[in-house]
Amino acid sequence: MTRGASMSARLKLAGVVLVCLCTLLANPSRSWGARLALLVGNDEGHGADVRLRYAQSDTARLAMLLSRVGGFAPDGIAVQLGRTANELRQALADLSARMQALPGQHLVVFYYSGHADGQNLHLGTSSYPLADLRQAVQALPAAVRVLILDACQAGVLTREKGGRSGQGFSLALGADEQTRGLAILAASAGSELAQESDQLGGAVFTHYLHLGLSGLADRNRDGSVSLTEAFAYTSERTVAATLGTTTGPQHPTYRLDLNGSDDLLLTRPGVSGIGYGHIRLDVPGWYFIRRSDGTVAAEVVSRGGELLAFDPGSYEITRRGRSNLDVGVVSVAEGRSTPVSGVATSSVAFGQMVRKGGGAAAVAFGLSAGTTARTSIAELGPSLGLQIVGRVDFSVASLELRLGLGQARHAGARLLSTTWEGTASVALLRVHDLGVRGRGLALAVAGGIEAGVSRMAQRIDGGDRHSSWSPLAGPTLLVDTTFSRRFYLRVGLGAPVYALRVQTVGGVSTTWRPALSAVLGAGTWF
């Protein structure tokens, strides 16, 4: 799914100016006027545009973040979702009129998420020219205007006068001089498509911008995030996340028309506030943090000490180890900080996390061995034997290759028969993880169908020998109990139906014979 950040070594001069803007966005101690924002999101585009899934939800989430950790008053943020071009023009006019009625040197942030084609924003069936948008934002009566576009080919607005792509720049603060002008941040270069991700639950650029402003971009760990830090983090992660997609890498770009310098900040996620809480990654590791709806809230390789601001609620935290995943649930409370070292976790094997979609691996492999038992079929007697199973777990299903060898004995009225049975079968399973039953212990139930073939070789005490091939198929049920990180016990039940060729008075015929089978074994994940 597409929507519209290469690196440059010549970013030092731009960084000097951009850091000035950073400060303007989050230092209420300066004598600035109103801090206002207009955020626009539209999932709908023109007739040929695929409907987006996350443009509007991204916009609403960013608005909440700015009000909670960015210092923007709730009544200073206007949000437009699913609106038309005429409604956008009116919103910009209303914003301009409000600024003119308020004293002081204002700061305004404009954000758009949706479809675009390099010339126009696609607001449903209506269009809004990018050139008109740039002119309207620049005409707003504010000291500083920030224009952020998460749309396809949005980088056309950063190409003039040396617009740059990249993820990092050096800082060199000048005099304490009030900054004025326009900054444009674009999610993609002028010829690129911006991308959405179902796994992230949002647009790639906005997802990492949100994470960066929430605390992950705080590289100097001073509890605040500058625009320099936020753009560097967002650009780096956007390129990395889109490098392997079919659309190709997406390169955020920026353009600055600013004068002055000031040591100000963008957000302050390290400061306790109303409406949000913190998760402190005080244990180094590779973390995946998921919201209650399953979408990714954060992915970070922590060195120990990162502080992230989140909306109150429950989050699943997964920390990847060498051979397992440690999983826990943390409850984020308003105004409180929760360290991950205090969260109770349980170890889950890679196979289970693949099925749940939470691990980094695409597949997991297992190998097990066990004993088998089968009820009697066609007067061959019950069978006991051994079984080896190779297993592959995918995100939606699991496949098993089962190889077995068993022996059955039957004592008739006059004769004793011994039958050796070699079986090869394939089982297609759907696995359901039932959750953790204790530290280091997890339970999973799988159901599916098994099909294969059995080679039966019978020897009768009278000297006769018979052999035949018998296809088999039937339902199968399996219970796995994972323990000690990568090892598991398995108990299985099956109800195979055999197609047997038997000797009758009229000759040889095929008959269908049901049986019940069971297996008890142990295995390991790779």
∠385-389-395 over CA atoms, to 5°? 150
Among candidate residues 495, 494, 526, 500, the one with its CA nearest the CA of residue 513: 500
Find the helix or strand (DSSP H, E) in which 144 lies. Answer: strand 144-150
Residue 281 in this model has a pLDDT that exceeds 50: yes
Residue pLDDT, tens place only, 94-144: 999 999 988 888 889 999 999 998 899 999 999 999 999 999 999 999 888
Residue pLDDT, tens place only, 167-206: 443 333 333 456 678 888 889 887 788 898 887 888 999 9
pLDDT of 462: 66
Across 492-511, average pLDDT: 82
Q: What separation, in Å, do the N-terminal and C-terminal C-alpha atoms of the chain show?
A: 33
Task: Tell me the one-letter amino acid at 282.
Answer: D
pLDDT of 493: 97
Q: How, if at all, do strands 517-525 and 364-374 pair? A: antiparallel
246: left (phi over 0), alpha (psi -120 to 50) or beta: alpha
Percent of the chain with pLDDT over 70: 81
Residue 15 in this model has a pLDDT that exceeds 50: no
Calpha distance 382→409 (Å, rounded): 7
Residue 9 in this model has a pLDDT that exceeds 60: no
359 vs 3, more confident: 3
Residue 31 in this model has a pLDDT that exceeds 50: no
* 180 strand-pairing partners: 259
Calpha distance 224→68 (Å, rounded): 13
The sign of the dihedral angle between the CA atoms of 477, 483, 487, 489 is negative
